[in-house]
Amino acid sequence: MLMPTVVAAQCCANECGAQCTDAGSWCSQSADNCNQCGGHHCTQNGDQQVQPRHTAQHSDKRGIAMRHPSPAQLHALEPAIDWFYTWSTSTQHAAASNLAFYPMVHDRGQVPHGLAGHPEALLGFNEPELASQGHLSPQEAAGLWHQLEAQASTVQKLVSPAMCGDIGRGTAWMKSFLGACQGCRIDAIAIHSYYCELADIQRLVNAYRGFGKPIWLTEFACAVQGKDVSMQGQIQFMKNVVPWLEQEPAIEKYAWFSFFTNQWTFPITSPNPDAGLIYGDGHLSELGRVYLSFGSSRRLDETETMEDRVYV
């Protein structure tokens, strides 16, 4: 449950209510709603920022896809998020956080000659079936894959190229890639989704089960023309999807695509979706507080191990 640190004060949220000019200018918001309406409360000395407390629930599945995260942002995410990536083979502040950083080889120009540190996972090419992204044929990607394998000798998980949400296009590329890369090491299949309905994400995941590998949903958010892509729409979408991702055995990892309005390099809808989780100073958005609040519902039977799982 979200609670402000000073629950006895009344709110005067400057983003959706009256400004707090003196001790008598209370707004109609209750103290419990303070942090949802701008995060201010009234005192004798004017309005003061409320730092919300939230109950963070850690999940070893949960991650974030985000460009150039700051140490403050990474620190704020640590209680509930296990890992992050930045579409690059390195990031400036990985050592400043307890979060696991997973490098990504975005395209042919990023094929590494060595990996910094000892990452637990290495992510393959980013949407190679799209000219605006990785832009690789299945055959070229297969030819480069042995170089990734050589760099990943100490890596626990070598994850496939990440497919865009176009099911027909993505599965056809992946089938050709696997056919051209016989004997290659691929420990998991990565996919992306910008669907806004749980049923569509389930349909996407079902299309990739047949490859017989655990699935990593390494980008997802709601970005469909005509859907509510505001932060409130993202919250409702997230509440429908994340609990399913947590309990679905085929999903080994997932990462929210965290971008605020006007930060999207390749906008999918108009207006741009508002899917940002955390501001530059380390304060969580309302959506970010929701993302960190989900419990981990993945459970293994006492006699079952991850190796016992069958993906069909």
pLDDT in tens, 123-172: 999 999 999 999 999 999 999 999 999 989 899 999 999 999 999 999 99
d(CA 205, CA 251): 8
43 compared with 289, residue with greater pLDDT: 289
Position 37 scores a pLDDT of: 38
Position 297 scores a pLDDT of: 64
Q: Is the pLDDT of residue 253 over 60?
A: yes
Q: Which of 53, 71, 90 is the last residue of a domain?
A: 53
Q: How many domains does the chain have?
A: 2
Position 12 scores a pLDDT of: 43
Same-domain check for residues 104 and 230 = yes
Mean pLDDT for the chain? 81
Same-domain check for residues 95 and 43 = no
Same-domain check for residues 7 and 92 = no
CATH number of the structural domain spanning residue 247: 3.20.20.80
Q: Which of 53, 70, 92 is the last residue of a domain?
A: 53
Predicted confidence band of residue 40 (pLDDT cuts 50, 70, 90): very low
Same-domain check for residues 178 and 286 = yes
Q: Determine which of 109-118, 220-229, 251-260 has the lowest per-residue pLDDT on average.
A: 109-118
Position 93 scores a pLDDT of: 80
Whole-number Cα distances in Å, 252 to 59, 202, 222: 11, 14, 20
Same-domain check for residues 37 and 142 = no
User: 64-102 pLDDT, tens per residue?
Assistant: 999 999 999 999 999 999 999 999 998 888 777 889 999
Same-domain check for residues 114 and 14 = no
Predicted confidence band of residue 45 (pLDDT cuts 50, 70, 90): very low
Same-domain check for residues 180 and 235 = yes
Same-domain check for residues 164 and 21 = no
- Segment 117-123 shows an average pLDDT of 92
Crossing angle, helix 167-180 and helix 138-151, to 10 degrees? Answer: 60
**Full residue range of the structural domain in which residue 12 is found:** 1-53
Q: Is the pLDDT of residue 178 over 70?
A: yes
Same-domain check for residues 67 and 49 = no
Residue 87: which region, alpha, beta or left (left: phi > 0; alpha: psi -120 to 50)? left
Same-domain check for residues 187 and 47 = no
Q: What are phi and psi of 73, to 5 degrees?
A: -65, -45
DSSP annotation of 295 reads: P
User: 215-235 pLDDT, tens per residue?
Assistant: 999 999 999 999 999 999 999
Whole-number Cα distances in Å, 19 to 11, 12, 40, 42: 10, 6, 9, 9
- Segment 261-271 shows an average pLDDT of 80
Q: Which of 53, 74, 93 is the last residue of a domain?
A: 53
Same-domain check for residues 170 and 43 = no
Q: Is-above-0.85 flag for pTM?
A: no
Same-domain check for residues 24 and 101 = no
